[in-house]
Structure 1
Amino acid sequence: MAAPAPTPAPPSPSRRTFLGRLSLPERNYLANALRTETVGGVILLVAAIAALVWANAFGSSYASISDFHFGPESLGLNLSVAHWAADGLLAIFFFVAGVELKRELVAGELRDPKAAALPVVAALCGMAVPALVYTLVNVVGGGSTDGWAVPTATDIAFALAVLAVIGTSLPNALRAFLLTLAVVDDLFAILIIAVFFTERINFMALAGAVIGLAVFWLLLRRNVRGWYIYVPLAVVIWGLMYNSGIHATIAGVAMGLMLRCTRREGESHSPGEHIEHLVRPLSAGLAVPLFALFSAGVSLSGGALADVFIRPETLGVVLGLVVGKTVGIFGGTWLATRFTKAELNKDLAWADVFAVATLAGIGFTVSLLIDELAFVGDEDMINRVKAAVLLGSLTAAVLAAVLLKLRVRRYQALYEAEELDEDEDGVPDIYEQDDPEYHLRMAAIHEKKAAEHRRLAQLAGAASNEPDRPA
């Protein structure tokens, strides 16, 4: 009697590749975005160094310019230069962050809830663990817990500047993971600022800001165009939001989220992508560096640096950035892949995720902003915590550079494979492997090269057989 046929095994659930190849549109967007962010990050690095030199070598002039006030007093906007940089210029930075977030939600890595779960979990853990580390250090050491949010932020521009300086060719998937982490990080940093650092609210001014945002949204939906309409309206919304008591940068985020970031038929770029392309250089090349110039100028004497490791507030910031960020992001990523259908790209290792998590410990722009909000009125503590942010970010950068350098050869091989365009049609070959026309083009290219090699070989053979001519 024949044995019964075995029961077929149930099909295994499909698994998603974590840090796999990006889609071609996402790859092109990422390349353009990172190019601007990297240049802006280098400018930011220069601005931070200039601020340190200026504040330590010519401290009196730095303080007098930073504290110089100007602006209409009647509108409640007679602010210092440093205040204008933090509340005014950073609104441009957060506007770009809002557009980035909107694009990620509707067309990028966060549009699929299943795919978005991993970077969101990683970013949340990467903010919760540093806050926990800071709080534990200060509870044990008897310090102030007011600065718990300082080490929760990642500065993507500074992180990419570090990549540019050390010359590491990271694969696109790792860069995209870092960028997506930073976008989610920015979102939760905005929520932290709005919820935890708003003491009192002027409801009349807030109502005016909401009405202004409604008008902004209506004009966008009616396809009204003209910078001369939107820029003055944005300034009014910003001024009302500032006077409401809610941090003025929230206005920038709100307007960025209102832009349409999906493409309609016949559009090469959505309005959000177009405006982001125009504003991003202003943010990365001017707004953020000027904020750094008037925020990073702290005294770095030997005693001040030693105090970083003595006071619980500053030690909590350093440990939060260096240890908390790394453990939070790496641990959150591992847990998300462990309990979901995602699996790590076979070309990469968990050491690569750990290196990127360490790199995310560079907290600068938003960390400095939260420091000023958390310890408002205590200039001595603000300066101490700024020194801790700088030292923690520098430590994270050095550690990440070492870890990335250990894998640089592997990264270069992956990057070259991703960027190879042998048929020179502007599309990397890896995206055309399933296209029959691509294989025909490649066959023609290879045949042409082979014919050229045969011709050169024949010429070389003829030259070697030719008899020597008399002198």
Structure 2
Amino acid sequence: MPRGSSRDRTFLERLPLPERAVVADALRTETVGGIVLLAAAVAAMVWANTPLKSSYETVRDFHFGIPALGLDLSVAHWTADGLLAIFFFVAGAELKRELVVGELRDPKTATVPVVAALSGMAVPALLYGIVAVFRGGTWNGWAVPMATDIAFALGVLAVIATHLSSALRAFLLTLAVVDDLGAIIVIALFYTSAINLAALVGAVTGLGPFFYLHNRRRLHGWYWYIPLALVIWGLTYASGVHATVAGVAMGLLLRVAKDHEPDHRPAEYIAHLARPLSAGVAVPLFALFAAGVGLSGGTLATMVTGPEQLGVALGLFVGKALGVFGGTYLAIRFTRARLGPDLALADVFALAVLTGIGFTVSLLIGELAYPDPAEQEHIKAAVLLGSLASALAATILLRLRNNHYRRLYEAEAAGDTANSGSGRFQVQ
């Protein structure tokens, strides 16, 4: 039988090139990426709430690495500090593109999504503080409800938006880029306990050769950059700054100007290559070992009755919606910025509710804000509940808006058909 046929295929062997290309392209779509992430989160919840719970904890807490270099980390920490650096590298590359040739290059165009994103970070943090402090809690988790999970949000939008304007997706993407940048700054500034200055200087120094090889020499071989990236990542981790910041920094250094090939921008191309690894491996594995909330002490609802947990859940579900929509309204009310002609405020409100899906980065900040495992469990439960409520509410609202535009489209199509028929009758 010929090589590669279904009968002699080894289980989990490397896929042939055409099949690998199909899988990679699928992982670049928001719908598939969101489904993979959702599947990993569901698997974590099931694994952590069955008789196999002990095996989940054993795998999650298993340590490996290079102790001599201070890299003896658990599997959960490797996924959070290591694999998520790939996710933030892609985010950094996308931010660089938006700043140079995308929506953020023009202040007039960028005003509305930037103000919406900033307001969408400030209001949830403030609402968290009000709820938590009023109920006798602390400000520790103020940053947890600030972030939007773009994979989940775009996945929901892609499934529903059969007749919604493509401008809605562009608005969400631009908002998410600013949102990611805000999360990165928060992690770097507020969740760094102690700085190892020598290691930090080494990491920053390592960015110099990265910039020189990519932007000056324009070398393309991965073998130049992967070893250098690992050194930069290791020094960043040793410095005390969260290691994912290294991924963002390298992504921001990528060149956006076109190469010799027409329409070839290195930042876009490299992000295109890295996205399947980010969406198909890095983020799902992080979710698998971060979302395993044990429910032996009660349901998700009963686990978020504490002040901090309630603040996180309401911050995501209510704060993000109020912040994004309020920021958008204020921007178009008091500046010269305007919504695109294909967008209405009702569309923006539905999208604002969708931004309350704060899964990946919210879970990461929750782990940084609450080192105690017991507190982490409850904060994770709050993130899951707030994100789930936002996803369900946004699905309903977006479906209503989609049906509205579908009816308008069908009425317009019917009118065009009637006019066309009338025209033919007159000619005859």
- 2:203 and 2:343 map into 1 onto residues whose CA distance is 47
- Structure 1 residue aligned with 2:77: 83
Is 1:131 matched with 2:103?
no
* Residue 224 of structure 1: how far off its partner (Å): 1.8
Which residue in the other structure is 2:395 paired with? 401
Structure 1 residues 71 and 200, CA gap change in structure 2 (3 angstroms): same
> Aligned partners of 1:178 and 1:76: how far apart in 2?
39
Q: Is the 8 A contact 1:45 1:161 kept in 2?
A: no
Distance 1:396 1:126, change over 3 A: same
3-state SS of paired residue (1:147): coil
* Residue among 313, 319, 342 paired with 1:324: 319
Task: Tell me which amino acid in the other structure corresponds to 2:353.
Answer: T
Instruction: Identify the residue that residue 310 of structure 1 maps to in structure 2.
Output: 305
Partner of 2:366: 371
Instruction: Give 3-state SS (helix, strand or coil) of 2:338's partner.
Output: strand
Q: What amino acid maps onto 2:82 in structure 1?
A: G
How far residue 364 of structure 1 moved from its aligned partner, in angstroms, is 0.4
* Correspondence list, 1:103-252, <5 A: 103-166=97-160, 168-220=162-214, 221-252=216-247
- Aligned-pair RMSD on alpha carbons? 2.4
Q: Which amino acid aligns with 1:44?
A: L
The equivalent of 2:43 in structure 1 is 50
Shift of 1:164: 4.2
Q: Give matches, 1:11-50, under 5 Å.
A: 36-50=29-43
Q: How far apart, CA to CA, are the structure 2 residues paired with 1:293 and 1:65?
A: 11
Tell me the number of residue pairs that the alignment of Structure 1 and Structure 2 aligns: 390
- Asked if 2 retains the 8 angstrom alpha-carbon contact of 1:70 and 1:79, the reply is yes
Displacement of 1:303: 2.1
- The structure-2 alpha-carbon separation of the partners of 1:85 and 1:389, relative to structure 1 and needing over 3 Å to count, comes to same
Partner of 1:424: none
Partner of 1:14: none
Q: Is the contact between residue 362 and residue 392 of structure 1 (CA under 8 Å) also seen in structure 2?
A: yes
Equivalent in the alignment of 1:443: none
Distance in structure 1 (CA, Å) of the matches to 2:27 and 2:401? 21
Distance 2:100 2:38 in 1: 32
How far does the alpha carbon of each residue in 1:358-393 deviate from its partner, in whole angstroms, 9 at most, with x for none? 0000000000000000011x1111010000000000
Q: Deviations over 1:249-280 (max 9, x none)?
A: 00000000000113256522211111111001
> For residue 335 of structure 1, what is the aligned residue in structure 2?
330
Unpaired segments ≥5 residues, structure 2: 1-24, 414-419
Distance in 2 between residues matched to 1:207 and 1:415, nearest whole Å: 58
Percent identical residues: 66
Please say which structure displays the higher CA radius of gyration. 1
- Determine the C-alpha separation between the residues in 2 that align with 1:77 and 1:282: 22
The C-alpha deviation readout for 1:419-470, integer Å capped at 9, x for no partner, is: x9xxxxxxxxxxxxxxxxxxxxxxxxx9xxx9xxx9xx9xxxxxxxxxxxxx
Is the Cα–Cα contact under 8 Å of residues 26 and 32 in structure 2 kept in the other structure?
no
1:270 aligns with 2:250: no
| TM-score (structure 2 length as normaliser) | 0.86
Which residue of structure 2 lines up, in the alignment, with residue 261 of structure 1?
256
Structure 1 residues 287 and 411 mapped into 2: Cα distance closer, same or farther (>3 Å)?
farther
Alpha-carbon distance in 1 for matches of 2:334, 2:131: 31
Structure 1 contact 69–80 (Cα < 8 Å) conserved: yes
Matches of 2:408 and 2:143 in 1, distance apart?
37
Does residue 297 (structure 1) correspond to residue 254 (structure 2)? The answer is no
Q: Give yes or no for contact 1:153–1:186 (8 Å, CA) kept in 2.
A: yes
The 1:34–1:404 alpha-carbon spacing in structure 2 relative to 1, beyond 3 Å, is: farther
Question: Given the superposition, is the C-alpha separation of residues 411 and 214 from structure 1 closer, same or farther in structure 2, using an over 3 Å criterion?
Answer: farther
How many Å apart are 1:229 and its aligned residue? Answer: 1.1
Residues 86, 369 of structure 1: 8 Å contact kept: yes
| Greater alpha carbon shift after TM alignment, 232-241 vs 339-348 | 339-348
Give the CA deviation at 1:195: 0.2
How far has the Cα of 1:285 moved from its partner? 1.1
Distance 1:233 1:81 in 2: 23
